[in-house]
Each structure stands twice: as structure tokens, then as C-alpha cells.
Structure 1
Amino acid sequence: MATALIKLTYKHVIDANAQTDFERNIFNATYQEFRMKSQAYNLDGELKTFTEMKARDSRANSMHYKMSVAGLHFLIPLNNKIPFLQDTLGNELNYEQPVFELIESDITQINAHRLSIKFITGTLMLHQVIGNNMILSLEDLLQDDRDFIDTFTLPMQPGLAITSYRELSKQSAPPVMNTSFKNN
């Protein structure tokens, strides 16, 4: 049965090298938001970068949230699917929560603008790790013992991390049912 309950976080960095319309739209919208909102932390116009603003005024850390306001509506068409992350069969995983992080920006140089979106999954069951691949299934406490469990295989890769982990014993492992992971 399952060995652990986990949550995954996939971090996707967006910068001036944005390749897709999705990335370019978020890049441009969040840069414009940064330029507008950064004025509150740079009244004398002396500071140029996000790092300088944070060093002078810790309230500038609220820019992470303000960037999310500018970018969240671009996530709606994703239907809670993580772009750029697929299992070995080409299916996208669902996310439950996106978290925007402003890595760096500069009011005078758009090319210095860099942010990330961390896509955090719901609870998954980790059954086994084979080489660089995790054998996973979706958690469902409603089903009882079954001979087979619907699983999927996800390779570990840059930007992907297990960010929550709870080990299970064989007696306490909850059964699973495939409800939120849909095959395309």
C-alpha cells in the first residue's frame, strides 16, 4: 500500500525569456504592477530594485501578494492544472494553491524582472520511488480495500519538490480513488 502522504510544489520561474503567451502575459502584467506599487516604497525615487526596497522598508515584501493580484486571473484558463509539469503519460497534475514570489525587479530595466509561481498540489499518496520516478495516487478516504489502485508516475525534475510528508503504516494507509486527476 502507500508509504506516505505527500504534497508537491512545482516552482516555475518567469523572466524576460518568457516563451509562451501565458508566461509573457504574467511577466508584463506583474512588471507593470511592480512599477506602479513600488512607488509607495520609493518616495524619493532613489531606489531601483526590489532588493533595495526590501532593505529600506520591510513592508515592500507585500509586493509578492501584489504581484499575485496582477497575475491570478491568467491562471483561470489553466483549470487548476499545473502547466509545464506532466506525468510520464503526458497528463497534467492538479494544483490546489498557487503562490507568487517576486524574485527581483528593477523599475528601470524590464529585463531584470523575475518572478516565480509555486503550484502546490493537494494530498497525494506516495507508493514507491523507482529510480528518479515517484509512483503516486490520489487520496480518497471513502474507498475500502481494493486489489488495484489507480496510480501515475511522475519523474523528479528541477523545480519539483516534496514539500509535505507524512509516513503511513500499512494499517493506517487510507485507500484511494481517482477523482481529481483526469486523463486528457
Structure 2
Amino acid sequence: MQKRVIILCYRKIIDIRSVKQWDKLVFESTYLEFKMQAQNFSQGTDYTSYAQLLRNVPNAQRLSGMVTPSVTGYIQQLGSIMPDILNNIGRRFLTFSKFQLEIINSDINDKEKHQVAVNFYSEPLVWHDTIDNYLLVSGHSPENQSAAENNVVATNLMQLQPYINISSLQYHN
């Protein structure tokens, strides 16, 4: 039987209305860094919004990458465990191996327009089954591989929810 190995992407959107403490810290940090970095692109122009900069200033798409270092400390605080995603018994279980910061919207002069997304990419998971709107998954690690040979593997049942996507699918024999 072929094994399906997937990587999930969780897109966490953070803006002025975010209420969790971690989200607020990321919001403040990314906005301050955006304001500082955007000055390099807006100097001598009337452009203040991220969209205007993208449309009119060469290399402005680099801003997301330039703002990313402002969140690395907050990402490390998570201990490689994805925020907000719980299994069916209410525990955070999904580990991530990489992340990507994306500026969705912002304006140098209007903090309320600032919106970012942190895209978390899970470690590889074995996708065993889909039950209604739940995925039955297990880790794709050497320990789980040897356990699978004994026909026993630890699994997690997680509900599909907005902003979760299967970002890659790979078949193994």
C-alpha cells in the first residue's frame, strides 16, 4: 500500500484586531520594522502604502524578507509547535520546520492598515485517512517507521479549518 506523505501549511493572519499576546507582539514588531524598511523605498516619493510601493518602486517586493528578522525571536518562542492548531482532544501537536512572513497590507502613516501573515510549514506527516472533515495523520519519523512495521503507530485526528492547506503530497511505497 502506498503511503501518502503531506506537508501542511497554516496561514496565520495578524492585524490590529488580533487579541492573543503573541499575535500582538508580532504585529507591533512587524509594523515598526515595516516603517523603518519602507523608508528606504518611499524616500523622495508620496508613496506610503505597501501596495503603492509594490506598484511603483523597483525591488519593493523585498520588504517582506526585510521585515522577517523582526519576528524570528517570536517564532523561536513557539518551540517549533504551530500555534492555534489542535488535535481532536485539544492539544497542540503539529510541528513546523519552516515559516514565511508575508506582508498583506500596510501603510507607513496608518497602523490600522497593517496586516501580515505567518505561513507555517509542518514537518512531513503520513496522511492515513480522511474522516468527515478530519485528517488522521502521524509523524513521518524513523521512530514511527519502525512502529508502523509492528502495525502500531501514534496518530492525531485534526479537524480541517480555514487557513490550513496541504502544501505538498508525496507518495511512498
> In which range does the TM-score fall when normalised by the shorter chain?
over 0.9
- Structure 1: which 5+ runs fail to align? 173-184
Matched with 2:101 is 100
Count matched residues.
169
Matched with 2:87 is 87
- Distance in 2 (CA, whole Å) between partners of 1:110 and 1:73 is 22
Q: Report if the CA contact (8 A) 2:26-2:74 is conserved.
A: yes
- Distance in 2 (CA, whole Å) between partners of 1:2 and 1:64 is 39
- Distance in 1 (CA, whole Å) between partners of 2:100 and 2:138 is 24
Q: Report if the CA contact (8 A) 2:37-2:67 is conserved.
A: no
Give 1:137 deviation, angstroms.
0.5
Q: Report if the CA contact (8 A) 1:104-1:114 is conserved.
A: yes
Secondary structure of the corresponding residue to residue 83 of structure 2 = strand
Matched with 1:175 is none
- Distance in 2 (CA, whole Å) between partners of 1:34 and 1:122 is 29
Which structure shows the higher helix fraction? Answer: 2
Q: Report if the CA contact (8 A) 1:2-1:127 is conserved.
A: no
- Distance in 2 (CA, whole Å) between partners of 1:15 and 1:53 is 20
1:131-157 CA distances to partner (integer Å, 9 max, x unpaired)? 100000111345161122111101110
Give 1:35 deviation, angstroms.
0.7
Give 1:2 deviation, angstroms.
6.2
The two structures have a TM-score, normalised by structure 1, of 0.87
The two structures have a TM-score, normalised by structure 2, of 0.92
- Distance in 2 (CA, whole Å) between partners of 1:39 and 1:45 is 10
- Distance in 2 (CA, whole Å) between partners of 1:55 and 1:88 is 44
- Distance in 2 (CA, whole Å) between partners of 1:118 and 1:91 is 20
Could you tell me the percent identity over the aligned residues?
21
2:139 equivalent to 1:138? yes
User: CA separation of 1:2/1:137 partners in 2, compared to 1, >3 Å: closer, same or farther?
Assistant: farther
- Structure 2: which 5+ runs fail to align? none
**Following superposition, which runs of at least 4 residues in structure 1 exceed 6 angstroms of deviation?**
none
